[in-house]
């Protein structure tokens, strides 16, 4: 075991108290590993929350981020000006739920009322 440790110390360039070969050799890969982990974490946090969907989640729906394919308010044919005017004319179910919470209705009751409105 000690022989393996000495081999590793020599291979990494950290024997004899000189750490320069370590930081210019295998230790320099820590920066690339950090960037890779950051990219993976960003992708996992901003992808669609539907299991198995790899699309970018841009549309909030309650506490989920959904892609255009899985969000119930985004039409599959694409958003048109008429669709935007239609949504602007009718208040959304989410704003009704927020108004109930602000009016003093409990969060669980507001969530149940919101579910009932979405089903309609």
pLDDT of residue 118: 52
In the prediction, which pLDDT does 104 show?
54
Residue found by looking up tokens 């989920």 in the block: 64
Same domain assignment for residues 6 and 30: yes
Q: 65 and 33 in one domain? A: no
- pLDDT by position in tens, the chain (length 120): 888 988 887 777 777 767 777 777 778 888 899 999 999 999 888 888 888 888 888 888 888 888 888 888 777 777 778 877 877 777 655 554 455 445 555 555 656 665 665 555
84 lies in some domain: no
* pLDDT the model gives residue 101: 47
Query: Is 98 inside a domain boundary?
Result: yes
pLDDT value at residue 92: 58
pLDDT of 113 reads 61
Assess whether 13 and 41 both reside in one domain.
yes
Instruction: Provide the number of structural domains found in the chain.
Output: 3
Say whether both 35 and 54 belong to one domain.
no
Q: Establish if 83 belongs to a structural domain.
A: no
Q: From 62, 83, 61, 79, select the one nearest 70 (Cα to Cα).
A: 61
Q: Is residue 10 part of a domain?
A: yes
Range of the domain at 39: 1-45
Residues 51 and 70 in one domain: yes
> For 56, which DSSP code?
B
Residue 67: CB partners within 8 Å, gap ≥ 6? Answer: 48, 50, 53, 55, 56, 57, 58, 59
């Amino acid at each position: 075991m000690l022989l393996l440790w000495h081999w590793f110390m020599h291979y990494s360039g950290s024997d004899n108290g000189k750490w320069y070969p370590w930081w210019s050799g295998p230790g320099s890969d820590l920066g690339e590993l950090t960037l890779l982990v950051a990219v993976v974490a960003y992708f996992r946090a901003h992808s669609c929350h539907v299991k198995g969907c790899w699309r970018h989640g841009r549309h909030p729906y309650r506490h989920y981020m959904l892609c255009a394919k899985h969000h119930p308010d985004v039409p599959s044919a694409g958003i048109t000006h008429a669709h935007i005017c239609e949504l602007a004319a009718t208040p959304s179910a989410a704003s009704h739920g927020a108004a109930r919470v602000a009016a003093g209705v409990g969060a669980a009751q507001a969530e149940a009322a919101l579910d009932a409105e979405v089903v309609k």
